[in-house]
Structure 1
Amino acid sequence: MKRILVLLLICLSGTSLAQTQAPLRLSMPEDAIAYLRLMGQTESSDDQAHTRLQEVLQSLSRDMNLRAALAADLEKQPELVQQHPWLDLLAMVEAPAELVVLWPTGATAAQGRILVRGRSRLASEEVLNQMLARISQAVDGLQLIQGFGGKHVASLRWEDKMDLLLVLDPASRVFYLLAGEGVTGKELQDRVAGLVLQQTHPMLALEQRIDTTATGPFLWLDMPRALYAWTLYAKPAPEMRQRLGLFAGVRAAALGWGRRNGRGRLSLVVDAPGNMGLAGMLPPVKNDYSSLYSRGEPKWLLALNLPGQGLQQMLDSLVQASLKPGEDIPTGKQALGQALGVDPDRLVAGLGPETVLFSDQAGIFLAVRNTDPDAVQQLLDHATANYSVEHRIREFGGRSYHHLNVWMLPEEAAKPDQDPLDAYVREFFVRDHLYWVRDGQWLIFARLPQPLFDRYRLEDKTALGDWLKTHQRQRTENALLLISARIDDVPRMLYYGYLTVYQSLADLLDMPFDPFAFPGAMDLELPDQGSYGVQLDLSDPYLTLEFSFEDNPLEILSGGNTATNVAMLGIVASVAIPAYKDYLSRSRIGEAMNLAAVVKNAVAEYQVSTGHLPVDAAQAGVDTAQLLAAQKIIASLKVTNGRIVITFGEDDPGLSRKTLILTPYGIEDQGSVRLVWRCGNSPEPAGRRVVLATQGGKTPVHVQSSLPARLLPKSCR
């Protein structure tokens, strides 16, 4: 395991080869038994519209070079790199980074290979050689045999047992690494040359079930060959070999974190014909929630879906467990049918597969599909006649409401109520009430009748199937277990959580941070709720466990020491912290507009008193040097023939040397002249124009701003 970790660390150092080669996921070698994508491209190919929060979170990775700040911090603290060489790599790696384990048929442990493809942030072979030298000094047993040179190849050796060769294309910064015992340059060359574009590899089918964007972390295993290779390499004990027999029917497995259908997914998918033996216990699940409605939009939902055939098998197991010596299952079922008053096979066949507990605007309900109402009625009639059960039907608003009053311990029903307190305790703990209505093929249960009354008073209905598909983006047709919810305030808390993390990282790296420049959650128009779900799917041959989430998942970020905090920066930078650069620039422009307002008032007063425009700021009575002394945003503020020209300084790269111009216009207004300002890229003011000029006859000419339009105030667009 330590060897593999070291290989991963080394492969992420900045090496690269021609980017004309397809990614490894699209050129999988035939002898690949495992694939690992450490990270993918930051740009998503998901064609679903992202939420406003996602757009904000993604934009920072394009606008800010946080990894450069990480690298600068590491240079200040070389002892960290000595103790944790992977930190050096963290600052240099670029997406995508892929790893494939190669195991030719019949290969021995010594013939296994690891092939890595990635991209470096650096193209300088000299800098990369320095990095490899630092890593080899920090990692025991690792030697740098040869750095990058004329052939763009570097070689290392691990404990005299494993060779590592890297080849780099400085132009594209793409690299390949091949690791294994006795690896040669020719083998690396042949391996890279043999990569052929092919999009039919079985791995891609599993990847599509997890991440259609192919950007998130992803692991795939060819289970039979991977387990065989692992047993040759690790030589496990006999007990462990026996445990591996549990995976005998598994063809492949995949674990990934990505996006599908507009939602984030953290999924484990197992490709196992027969579902690892579960098919013998449970038939394939097939659900349909299209005919089940909530009132208003559901708040949460929990569904357990057991097919009728599966219930039959469970019934047989229960009956078999209760048989007396000499009895068989048919005899046991006959006895059970006499006790229930209905054929148990018929009763079970009419139930399911869907059982749904959900909450909506009317209350909390349990819905069970029932396609044989007569069997249920026979059960109720028999229970009422023979047991301590009362079943009543009340009619309200043209609908039948069922009430079931059950003594949980039948013998308690006949006891006289000698003591009032004893009677209350017995009633509370021993009796139970259940209320329900029939709604098409569904029995809708509640603890009291009032939620059922409200359910049918509310006209706003939502089909649960549509809600799960459209709002929650969950595939439900094969879900054995399904949990789905919309949680209040999660997008807002997530956004502020990112800001808090970024503030800590800015403190750590001594970076400028202005929390007042960030927009509020209301400014971003974040949704009030976030949708989340968990489900277990059973559809031969796939067995899937999936967690789905809206926007970005809450990152597990911990502090405590500098190394951990720097690692946090790498994580946050790769996922993207909420964008704020534009908002920071807008706030600075707003501050400049406030200063310009002082000059605008002075120009207007001069024009009213003299009938002319001032030639410059001094003539208007403004000391611009004093006005700008307390700030660092504006490099200069000039007045030319009444026109105000603001030039920004270099503190903000997005504003550096850009100009914002405000031009006065005279508009006739009931016999007088009203001064109106035209700002930036805004159109000419409406109204009848009056020519304004200096005493020397010079008139101002408006010029549009050189600032990006997105940064301009609304009045200047």
Structure 2
Amino acid sequence: MMQILKVSLAIAGLSFSALTFAIAQTSEVKVPKLDKKISRESFLRDKLTDNTVAYMRIPTQFGMAFNLKNKASDKVMVNDVNERMMLHLKKVLQDPSLVNEALKQYISVPIDQLPFDLGQFTSFIYTGVDGPIEIMGTDSNKMLSPATQALIVIPVKYSSAQELDEARARIWKEDINLTNQNGFYSVPPTTSMYFDEKEKRLFIAIAQKAPSEDQLKKQISELKSTKEHRMYAYENQIDLTGQNLFAWADVTGSRDMVAMLAQKESPLAAEFFQNTEGLAFGVGTTINQQGQAKFITKTNTQKISVLKDFAKPLDFKTVGEPKYFSVLALPSKQTVVEALKKNHVLTDQDLQQLIAQSHETLSFNILDLLDIMGPQVVAYEDNTGSNFAIGIQNKTEFQKLIKNLEAKEGTTHTVYKGIHELKLKNPLLGLMQQLGNQQYTDDIENAIRDYALLQPNIVEIVSAIYGVRALDVNFYLYWNEEQNWIVFNTLPYALAERSKAKFSIPKWLEGQGIRSSGLILSYMGEIKGAEEAWYRDYVKFMRNNYDLLGQKFDPFSMPSPSSMKFNPTSRIGLHTAIDQEWVVVSLDYDISPFYGYSMLVGQSGIGLVGIMSSFALPAYQDYIKRTYVSEGMALATTAKLASTEYYATMGQWPSDNEEAGLADPQFITGQAVNGIAVTGGGQVYISYNYKVQDEGYLILQADPTGTGSVNWYCYQTNLDAKVLPTVCRNDVMFADEAYEYDDAAVEATEEAVE
């Protein structure tokens, strides 16, 4: 059974790898028509039960390529020639013998020595899975915990459980002792599986105690269509297609414990968790056909001191549509001071020292600027060029600030046709002179040095190198005062054109599916030639896949870049917004900004290169063993979480699995894992079988930080360092180095596992 689960996880991982580039945002998405030749519809998303606390959807490789829509990739994916070539490649991948023959020259070990048939495995991943893999977590207490049950649904292209068994037998070269009982498979103590011939879907149930056949079938039959689940409030802001990558979790039941653990180390994080109901991440498509990835949390921001200032509207205009635009929201002075004090960054003494230094240098308290200016700062480029603007909350105090600056020696302030000019003597020149006087003692040498410093050519060279005019005699700043905004520039020309500013930024943002209210950080800009560059890499990637499979690829059969009529520039944006209910972080784009990297993992949805590279390693056996060791560490996650919860509640560590609320050690097993045991003292013992090392073990140790949280690290092992994950190698103590190694304790634990 664990082998079947491993295949499921492999499919999930490979599907996810093809999405690292495909990130998008949206609150209103345009649902594309599902191409049923490529992928089937999702099943669980509209059948979530009331006690569902988590949901995840992982699209297929081919399905993702056709379902994720953005301006550039959509042109390519819907092209008839490209679709035919994609489907041909998919057909080739359905022939395991052809795949194995093609891969022989790239694999460093004989294919027949692999523990499974690589061709069959590849074919199953790309053609056997027929739609998005879905995972639903349910809990009677409506909280994520070790008692949470998982239901995994995998749509496959098989008509019966017997066909599925035959496919499994073709993949694995050894008998995994999985008995088909009319489509039902029982693997005590935690897992049951059922293949529904009508749905052509594989249902895998994982719980503390494996459900019986009747229980699992009843659970499946009770899944009724409904779109009233709280998950939809999240998904509707990300992906309405029901096909793309999406993950959601309800944290209401566990937030108190998380907040308690985080309280001492990070009070602000604890405050955030305490007021958060759930979170989600996914990819989708914006209303104007941009790709977008979005992370959101449902949070009562008005109860969080550092966030309550930000749920404010943006009201700004530009002269024509901006080429780039960025926004930054400023918190209030009180919010900043409270946050710094709460996280022990700043004491009252430090604060008073900062204020004193500020008055001495600037003649005013620099923190007061947060109440004078803001709450938003924008930088943009429109028809007038590059500009900078900042909100003004207290004009009277701003005018006092300018008066204080005017009192400084070498500073003048004038107003001409409504445009203010502030001229400030460059303080850097005086500083350079002071430094120079420490090096030169001769008056003539000093005079020559000062004269050379003031030469215009020197100023231009420094400006060209550093991008700033640090050696100008004076610094100049110009600005307009416009209602609640002050628009700045280093020259007055753009400011003279501000009377033509009619283009509404809020409407512009909202037309692209970006909420304008509550923006605390936003950037939108342009990338030249990104669409064509992506397409050229895509064709090269397709050509390489054909080469790998021994197929003939004619680049002239693909549409030429010029015929695709790509846009010369592409938009890209990064946004963070806060309102009274939601915190949103998103990235949107016309074409993926990672298009070069995306070719390595499969923009077309075919990650064959990634599969092959993982096997084409000289140290293949070590790679396999590291995978098995990681399997043990993954299986130990539940034991670590249960031990941590017990420690947080009882003030001491559980002495064994029963006290931690876990199944007996011998029932927590894997392909290379004999068992997982809680052994007391904050330790978790992982026992491995011959696939890693006979009588191999790895001990994980808890380390309370003293602030309420717990770190876990690799404590002791008898495994070779080369098969350990990187995170283990620096901290772990090897058995031959452990002079206080307790043989009796390990033997007792091995007996418990056995």
1:122 equivalent to 2:136? Answer no
The residue identity in structure 1 corresponding to 2:291 is: G
Equivalent of residue 328 in structure 2, options 285, 296, 304: 304
Q: TM-score, normalised by structure 1?
A: 0.62
**Larger % of strand: which?**
1
User: Which of these two proteins has the greater Rg computed from alpha carbons?
Assistant: 1
Deviations 1:368-400 (A, max 9, x none): 1225444323321232124542222234xxx53
Give the match's secondary structure for 2:517: coil
Alignment of 1:558-573 (within 5 A): 566=608
Q: Which residue of 1 aligns with 2:52?
A: 32
1:87 equivalent to 2:115? Answer no
1:155 equivalent to 2:180? Answer no
User: Offset at 1:293?
Assistant: 0.6
Deviations 1:147-167 (A, max 9, x none): 3x7x4x14263xx54333122
Equivalent of residue 202 in structure 1, options 222, 230, 236: 230
1:145 equivalent to 2:178? Answer yes
Q: Taking structure 1 as reference, are residues 427 and 273 closer, same or farther at Cα in structure 2, changes over 3 Å only?
A: closer
Q: Which residue of 2 aligns with 1:664?
A: none
1:359 equivalent to 2:381? Answer yes
Kept in 1: contact 2:378–2:388 (CA 8 A)? yes
Deviations 1:575-626 (A, max 9, x none): xxxxxxxxxxxxxxxxxxxxxxxxxxxxxxxxxxxxxxxxxxxxxxxxxxxx
**RMSD (CA atoms):** 5.1
Kept in 1: contact 2:479–2:495 (CA 8 A)? yes
- For residues 448 and 241 of structure 1, what CA distance do their matches in structure 2 show? 44
Equivalent of residue 71 in structure 1, options 90, 94, 110: 94
Q: Taking structure 1 as reference, are residues 225 and 507 closer, same or farther at Cα in structure 2, changes over 3 Å only?
A: farther
Q: Which residue of 2 aligns with 1:636?
A: none
User: Offset at 1:504?
Assistant: 0.9
1:404 equivalent to 2:423? Answer yes
The residue identity in structure 2 corresponding to 1:6 is: K
The residue identity in structure 2 corresponding to 1:297 is: E
The residue identity in structure 2 corresponding to 1:566 is: L
User: Offset at 1:324?
Assistant: 6.5
Give the match's secondary structure for 1:145: coil
Q: Which residue of 1 aligns with 2:6?
A: 6
1:420 equivalent to 2:420? Answer no
The residue identity in structure 2 corresponding to 1:463 is: S
Alignment of 1:296-695 (within 5 A): 296-307=320-331, 310-314=332-336, 348-395=370-417, 399-408=418-427, 418=447, 419-422=450-453, 428=471, 431-452=474-495, 455=497, 462-470=503-511, 472-551=512-591, 554=594, 556-557=597-598, 566=608
Kept in 2: contact 1:342–1:378 (CA 8 A)? no
1:286 equivalent to 2:319? Answer no
Alignment of 1:100-111 (within 5 A): 100-105=136-141
Kept in 2: contact 1:109–1:229 (CA 8 A)? no
- For residues 325 and 217 of structure 1, what CA distance do their matches in structure 2 show? 47
- For residues 268 and 171 of structure 2, what CA distance do their matches in structure 1 show? 38
User: Offset at 1:338?
Assistant: 13
Give the match's secondary structure for 2:45: helix
The residue identity in structure 2 corresponding to 1:442 is: W
The residue identity in structure 1 corresponding to 2:451 is: P
Q: Taking structure 1 as reference, are residues 306 and 105 closer, same or farther at Cα in structure 2, changes over 3 Å only?
A: same
Give the match's secondary structure for 2:153: strand
Equivalent of residue 99 in structure 1, options 135, 152, 160: 135
User: Offset at 1:172?
Assistant: 4.5
Kept in 2: contact 1:81–1:87 (CA 8 A)? no
Kept in 2: contact 1:70–1:566 (CA 8 A)? no
Kept in 1: contact 2:282–2:293 (CA 8 A)? yes
Give the match's secondary structure for 2:53: strand
Kept in 2: contact 1:219–1:256 (CA 8 A)? yes
Unaligned runs of 5+ residues in structure 2 are: 14-38, 101-110, 438-445, 460-468, 613-754
- For residues 114 and 103 of structure 1, what CA distance do their matches in structure 2 show? 9
User: Offset at 1:217?
Assistant: 0.7
Give the match's secondary structure for 1:356: strand
The residue identity in structure 2 corresponding to 1:26 is: D
Q: Which residue of 1 aligns with 2:671?
A: none
Q: Taking structure 1 as reference, are residues 321 and 185 closer, same or farther at Cα in structure 2, changes over 3 Å only?
A: closer
1:264 equivalent to 2:264? Answer no
User: Offset at 1:487?
Assistant: 1.5
Higher mean displacement: 90-99 or 64-73: 64-73
Q: Taking structure 1 as reference, are residues 403 and 520 closer, same or farther at Cα in structure 2, changes over 3 Å only?
A: farther
Equivalent of residue 183 in structure 1, options 211, 216, 225: 211
Kept in 2: contact 1:302–1:482 (CA 8 A)? yes
- For residues 520 and 168 of structure 1, what CA distance do their matches in structure 2 show? 45
Kept in 2: contact 1:267–1:544 (CA 8 A)? yes
Kept in 1: contact 2:389–2:486 (CA 8 A)? yes
- For residues 239 and 439 of structure 1, what CA distance do their matches in structure 2 show? 45
Kept in 2: contact 1:206–1:269 (CA 8 A)? yes
- For residues 266 and 504 of structure 2, what CA distance do their matches in structure 1 show? 49
Q: Taking structure 1 as reference, are residues 144 and 229 closer, same or farther at Cα in structure 2, changes over 3 Å only?
A: farther
- For residues 216 and 230 of structure 2, what CA distance do their matches in structure 1 show? 25
Kept in 2: contact 1:165–1:183 (CA 8 A)? no
User: Offset at 1:25?
Assistant: 1.5
Deviations 1:174-201 (A, max 9, x none): 3422234433111111111121222121
Deviations 1:184-236 (A, max 9, x none): 11111111112122212121111122223332111111225578999xxxxx9
User: Offset at 1:37?
Assistant: 0.2
Kept in 2: contact 1:93–1:119 (CA 8 A)? yes
Give the match's secondary structure for 2:131: strand
- For residues 414 and 123 of structure 2, what CA distance do their matches in structure 1 show? 74
User: Offset at 1:342?
Assistant: 10
More RCO (CA 8 Å, sep 6+): 2
- For residues 263 and 387 of structure 2, what CA distance do their matches in structure 1 show? 51
- For residues 108 and 383 of structure 1, what CA distance do their matches in structure 2 show? 57
- For residues 158 and 581 of structure 2, what CA distance do their matches in structure 1 show? 44
Q: Taking structure 1 as reference, are residues 155 and 43 closer, same or farther at Cα in structure 2, changes over 3 Å only?
A: same
User: Offset at 1:93?
Assistant: 0.8
User: Offset at 1:134?
Assistant: 4.2
Give the match's secondary structure for 2:572: strand
User: Offset at 1:39?
Assistant: 1.4
Kept in 2: contact 1:272–1:541 (CA 8 A)? yes
Give the match's secondary structure for 1:523: helix
Q: Taking structure 1 as reference, are residues 324 and 507 closer, same or farther at Cα in structure 2, changes over 3 Å only?
A: closer
Q: Taking structure 1 as reference, are residues 406 and 207 closer, same or farther at Cα in structure 2, changes over 3 Å only?
A: farther
Deviations 1:484-507 (A, max 9, x none): 112221111122221111111111
Give the match's secondary structure for 2:336: helix
Higher mean displacement: 499-508 or 121-130: 121-130
Q: Taking structure 1 as reference, are residues 336 and 428 closer, same or farther at Cα in structure 2, changes over 3 Å only?
A: closer
Kept in 2: contact 1:38–1:97 (CA 8 A)? yes
The residue identity in structure 1 corresponding to 2:313 is: N
Q: TM-score, normalised by structure 2?
A: 0.59
